Structure 1
Amino acid sequence: MNEPDDTASDLLFNQSLEKGLAVLRAFNAQHRTMTLGDVASATGISKSSAQRMVHTLETLGYICKHPKTRRYQLTPKVMEVGYNYLAADILVDVANPFLSELANITGETVNLTEPYDGEMVYVARFVASKFIPIHMPIGSRIPMYCTASGRAYLSALEPEEAQAILESSERTVHTPHTRTDVEDIMQLLAASRERGFASNREELFLGDMSIASPVFNSERKPVASVHVVAPTSRWSVEEAEKKLGPLVLECARAISNSVRTLV
């Protein structure tokens, strides 16, 4: 388990809580079920420590053991934490009517994502009846550098801050269209800043294209992005930018204005 450098001298920092959260985060699509040894290996903690964490989480109802395989897995109770975040997130409540309207106008799937640690997290989603190539449920995370929502958010930051985030990102090539060069992406951000929205064509998933615009808080700081999914089977880049770009920008501005009135 990798610990921040400053935690060793922080007397208020609770390492047991950190280990418990690390155990919960260790379960994912690649590790749906794990043995005690698997948990210890995935978190980098000792087997005895892993045993205490697993036992505590099992007692609290966040983890259960399969009666036959004796392997551990998460329970639905874990979702309480994520749901509580969404329930307490004022931005989601404010944005939902505008996102719904945008979905009705465009006939395409509309999403709201929020930034976290170099990625954008899905917090709201209105799914169209039309085919979309990729399903991204609430809570899914996508990288900033190669997505429209991430670039929309980055374009609203000071260029120095955006560049620092890009340079610290692990810029993986996902498709033949993925752009990873920092200077190249910075030029895209400048163009997005100029027109108010960003676009992405098949850089994360083949067949997937999106148009996004940033949402600002009362201090004019970017806090989220709105994006419309425009599959390449139905849209060209030029058509999506011309028709969807202004609509996404208008939606993001409406959300931003509504957020400011609440503060």
Structure 2
Amino acid sequence: MTSPLEVPEPQASLLFNQSLEKGLAVLCAFSAKNRTMTLAEVAAAVGITKSSAQRMVFTLEGLGYVRKHPQTRRYQLTPRVMAIGFNYLAADPVIDLANPFLSELTKSTTETSCLTEPDGLEMVYVARFVSAHFVPVHMPIGSRIPMYCTASGRAYLSALPEDEALSLVERAERISHTVHTRTDVDAIMAILRETRSRGFATNCEELFLGDMTIAASVLGAQGRPVASVHLVAPTGRWTLGEVERKLAPPLLQCARSLTSSARSVG
């Protein structure tokens, strides 16, 4: 699942570069929904004038991040854009620390394990070890999922101070992805309190039908959550009770081990 990036409001400052802001907004405007765009479509998607869009696209094309299709004359991203995301993955110490733990977790449970990190109101997939078993939903690195209705998001939220978690839940666009999605703020906060007590969160078909996950938070040096680790347990192979009995113990051990390692690097 992908969605537009939530960009924080810039601080009023003479140092803030609006041209850079527009250029990044143009890059972010391309998505699964907008794979290719004309200049007019870029301008509309970003909310800028067509002349401004032309300058941004011309610059990005010169730098190799955007190209124009010779027949359709529509613009699209190039593989060079991936260098930005890859540099983040390469520089993030938590991902390096997590990989051996995720590999062992997948080996011991035979299910797909993932690491997600928070960004705004969403969790972003940054590491993934795929099992040999079928999974109903493909979530490649870089995929984004909402916090309020996913196990990894709830695990992260539950490790925050309650007022901070409440603020994030209230700000979320709480839509019903399936008939099982919880959208009521009080209900979600009750789930977070239960998650805090048990140490793990679950999600049964609230984002995708057939998909069930169980997650635990990873804490950093200051005791604040920095990520969540989760296991994918499709409803075709697991019941919620089985997930809690059989998958929670190895998941919690993985999260604890990763927390110990993450705290050592700050």
TM-score interval, normalised by the smaller of the two chains: over 0.9
Distance across 1 between alignment mates of 2:104 and 2:55: 49
CA displacement, residues 167-195 of structure 1 (integer Å, 9 cap, x when unaligned): 01000100000000011011111111111
**Taking structure 1 as reference, are residues 6 and 210 closer, same or farther at Cα in structure 2, changes over 3 Å only?**
closer
**Taking structure 1 as reference, are residues 34 and 173 closer, same or farther at Cα in structure 2, changes over 3 Å only?**
same
Distance across 2 between alignment mates of 1:218 and 1:74: 37
TM-score normalised by structure 1 residue count: 0.97
CA displacement, residues 238-258 of structure 1 (integer Å, 9 cap, x when unaligned): 000111111111101100101
Q: Report if aligned partners of 2:155, 2:215 keep a CA contact under 8 Å in 1.
A: yes
**Taking structure 1 as reference, are residues 154 and 37 closer, same or farther at Cα in structure 2, changes over 3 Å only?**
same
Q: Which residue of 2 aligns with 1:190?
A: 193
- Paired residue secondary structure (2:126): strand
- Alignment partner of 1:211 out of 201, 209, 214: 214
**Taking structure 1 as reference, are residues 217 and 47 closer, same or farther at Cα in structure 2, changes over 3 Å only?**
same
- Paired residue secondary structure (1:205): coil
Task: Tell me how large the CA RMSD over aligned residues is.
Answer: 1.2
Q: Which residue of 2 aligns with 1:85?
A: 88
> Is 2:246 aligned against 1:243?
yes
Q: Which residue of 1 aligns with 2:165?
A: 162
**Residue identity opposite 1:72 in structure 2:** Y
CA displacement, residues 201-224 of structure 1 (integer Å, 9 cap, x when unaligned): 000000000000000001111000
Unaligned runs of 5+ in 2: 1-5
Unaligned runs of 5+ in 1: none
- Alignment partner of 2:151 out of 123, 141, 148: 148
**Residue identity opposite 1:179 in structure 2:** R
Q: Which residue of 1 aligns with 2:260?
A: 257
- Alignment partner of 2:31 out of 6, 28, 31: 28
Over 3 Å off, 4+ runs: 2-7
CA displacement, residues 63-113 of structure 1 (integer Å, 9 cap, x when unaligned): 000000000000000000000000000000001000000000000000000
Q: Report if aligned partners of 2:114, 2:127 keep a CA contact under 8 Å in 1.
A: yes
Question: How many residues are paired up?
Answer: 261
